[in-house]
Amino acid sequence: MDKSQIPALGIDLGGTKICAGLVINHTLTGETRRIPTPQGADNITKALLELIRHFQETNFIMGVGIATAGIVNPETGEVIGSTGNLPGWEGTPIKKLIQSRTALRCHVENDANAAAYGEFHAAHLEDRICTVTVTLGTGIGVGIVLNGKLYRGAHFAAGECGHIKISMDNRRRCTCNLWDCWEAYGSGRGLQATGWKLLEGLSPGQSSLVDKRDNLTTKDILEAAAEGDSVARQALEKWHEHVACGLVSLCHTLDPDAFVITGGMSKFIDYSTLRDMLADRTLPRVSEKLEIHPSILGEAAGMVGAADLVLDAAREAEGAAVL
């Protein structure tokens, strides 16, 4: 049997939903399951085990890759910090639990890292020195691939770039409680806050969004912008500037070959505007040859990347056994 045709199960565990699907050759294959994320660590673990059993009923699988919110130690497979979206999840020894209950190989990874690994392979960027994948969603997550490997830092917190500081005046508080984090401006939540701020003191005649201000959503802003509302357009333009501002710091620190922009908000990026903004705000050496790729995997990036990681681990273990 050709082992490259045996799938791994990729699971993306987010604050609101859990998605799972089988992955072969960096691609989802067959059915994808999506369930709401239950409350509490025990219920999440139970849901993960049920998903795995479901896929095992009809498939032989090589292992399970789990992309989860929070800072992860992938060696122990434990979530060790920052899981605001998943209360009670910190400290759960996921890998150990899954392996002992299913006898399957398991790899647990931070969701932005998993997405980065998935997009890196899907876009065939294997020959690049540095690829930085930015997940623009409710928050901002970053995954850094250096010479083909995820770079995780000294305390598994590399790529927590949502908390880069892009202003010094304590203007906006981030959900992490720090001030002026990139994420407080460049994420979906950031766009909302920018819209809200721009609407301050306006009368209903000045923007169609004024009446919606109390419960303003990113969808409201995007729709109003599409209909030509000038305040909504200004909010979108500012949001692009905010996204660019963090990318500038990443350019001058990591000097990447390529950015990949993924996540739910990435489809609203105007790439031509973003490229121009980066060219204007960086040293020529850094941006001249910089590639900016839109996501290839979209919402599947976390699942595919997590599955890729467990498949790689299986191959490495096999290689080691043969030696």
Size of the site for a second copy (CB under 8 A): 51
Q: 289 or 323, CB closer to a second copy?
A: 289
Q: Work out which of 6, 49, 104, 129 binds a second copy, going by CB under 8 A.
A: 129
Q: Work out which of 173, 253, 316, 317 binds a second copy, going by CB under 8 A.
A: 253
Three-state secondary structure string covering 146-203:
ECCEECCCCCCCCCCHHHCECCCCCCCECCCCCECECHHHHCHHHHHHHHHHHHCCCC
Q: 160 or 229, CB closer to a second copy?
A: 160
Instruction: Tell whether residue 72 is a contact of a second copy (CB under 8 A).
Output: no
Q: 17 or 285, CB closer to a second copy?
A: 285
Instruction: Tell whether residue 91 is a contact of a second copy (CB under 8 A).
Output: no
Region near a second copy per CB under 8 A, out of 33-41, 103-111, 249-257, 296-304: 249-257
Whole-angstrom distance between the N-terminal and C-terminal Cα of the chain? 21
SS3 label, residue 21: strand
User: Do 135 and 120 meet the contact criterion of CB atoms below 8 Å apart?
Assistant: no
Residues 6+ apart with CB under 8 A from 296: 119, 122, 123, 260
Instruction: Tell whether residue 152 is a contact of a second copy (CB under 8 A).
Output: yes
* Gap between the Cα atoms of 122 and 119, Å rounded: 5
Instruction: Tell whether residue 255 is a contact of a second copy (CB under 8 A).
Output: yes
Instruction: Tell whether residue 284 is a contact of a second copy (CB under 8 A).
Output: yes
* Gap between the Cα atoms of 224 and 62, Å rounded: 47
CB 295 to a second copy: min, Å: 20
**Residue 37 per-residue DSSP state:** P
Instruction: Tell whether residue 127 is a contact of a second copy (CB under 8 A).
Output: no
User: Do 265 and 235 meet the contact criterion of CB atoms below 8 Å apart?
Assistant: no
List of residues contacting a second copy (CB under 8 A) = 71, 80-82, 128-130, 142, 144, 146, 151-168, 176, 178-179, 241-242, 245, 248-250, 252-257, 281-286, 288-289
